[in-house]
Structure 1
């Protein structure tokens, strides 16, 4: 989702640059909600409770939005912000996950071809903790981001364990997907939570 403030400015064909037409342009203020994204419930699938995460590309902030909530946005003239809006999947009683994709791309989620999530209890008789395996097929290279309520145990790309960072405040998990030697290669990405 893109929000742009183009008030009082425009592209000058002669000077080949943005030109401000208003000497005191106004800031643009509004809000962003998950409901602003068409067909999001259809994409999220059955069982989705309406919660999402929003990844802001310019600031790098990740925000969890409960169903119906909004975040404020204020932009000066010629400023913009792009958001990746991703439905959160509750995969166990206390574990939630949402893939964002390649976060340095404007269409970050477009890098994810396949998403498959499995959860199981290590020992159901003793009511032991759940383990969650998230498997994805990902195209492209760069920094991959995802949201998780718990720090992953490990992340791997094509069965090779990779270093990752986890921000416990926002739930942002990031790791690097390398450049492929093959064109249109799809990486096997696994996140173990």
Structure 2
């Protein structure tokens, strides 16, 4: 169970899914109690569930997570469109902060509203900082692989 706590978020979600898929819920709760992994009162841990998009041209896996500084991180995503021919994924995002997506490969480039931006890639996570200069429109983020 300690391995579950020390793994990255993608591995944790996979391990948690496997745990719930193979045991009764009551047994899972007992495992957490025995190992002291229950949350204390007024503490929380959020899981964001997002569908994985597969770009068929290069078998790239992509899953938008959202703005991680928000409690409902996925709620900032208005739409996601992928283009297999161009090996790209675009997303309409409302809000500002750190946008994260899961990607099985590092993007070649990232843009916000058509302007190239710096991004970081660590453990299959792409991170971009989004400012929100015009609150009336969505920011369009494009990831090219």
| Category of TM-score, reference length = shorter chain | 0.7 to 0.9
Q: Is the 8 A contact 1:62 1:172 kept in 2?
A: no
1:82 aligns with 2:46: yes
Query: Contact (CA 8 Å) 1:140, 1:185: kept in 2 or not?
Result: no
Query: Which residue in 1 is equivalent to 2:73?
Result: 108
Distance 1:137 1:80, change over 3 A: same
Instruction: Name the SS of the counterpart of 2:136 in structure 1.
Output: coil
Point out the structure with the larger strand share: 1
Contact 2:132 2:139 in 1 (8 A): no
- Alpha-carbon distance in structure 2 between the residues aligned to 1:188 and 1:111: 12
Q: TM-score, normalised by structure 1?
A: 0.56
**TM-score in terms of structure 2 length:** 0.73
Provide the residue aligned with 1:191 in structure 2. 143
Shift, 1:183, TM fit: 2.7
Q: Distance in 1 between matches of 2:18 and 2:87?
A: 27
Greater Rg over alpha carbons, structure = 1
Kindly state the Cα deviation for residue 91 of structure 1 after the two structures are TM-superposed.
1.6
**What secondary structure sits across from 2:10 in the alignment?**
strand
User: Are residues 1:94 and 2:43 paired?
Assistant: no
User: Which residue of the other structure, out of 162, 173, 178, is the alignment partner of 2:117?
Assistant: 162
Aligned with 1:63: secondary structure?
helix
Which aligned segments of 4 or more residues in structure 1 are displaced greater than 3 angstroms? Answer: 70-73
- Report deviation, 1:135: 0.9
Aligned mates of 1:150, 1:70 — CA distance in 2: 27
1:1-193 matches, within 5 Å, as 61-64=8-11, 65=14, 69-70=18-19, 74-78=37-41, 79-92=43-56, 93-120=58-85, 131-167=86-122, 169=123, 171-180=124-133, 182-193=134-145
1:123-152 CA distance string (max 9 Å, x none): xxxxxxxx5111111100010000000000
Structure 2 residue runs of 5 or longer lacking an equivalent are 21-27
Alpha carbon RMSD of aligned pairs, Å?
Answer: 2.6
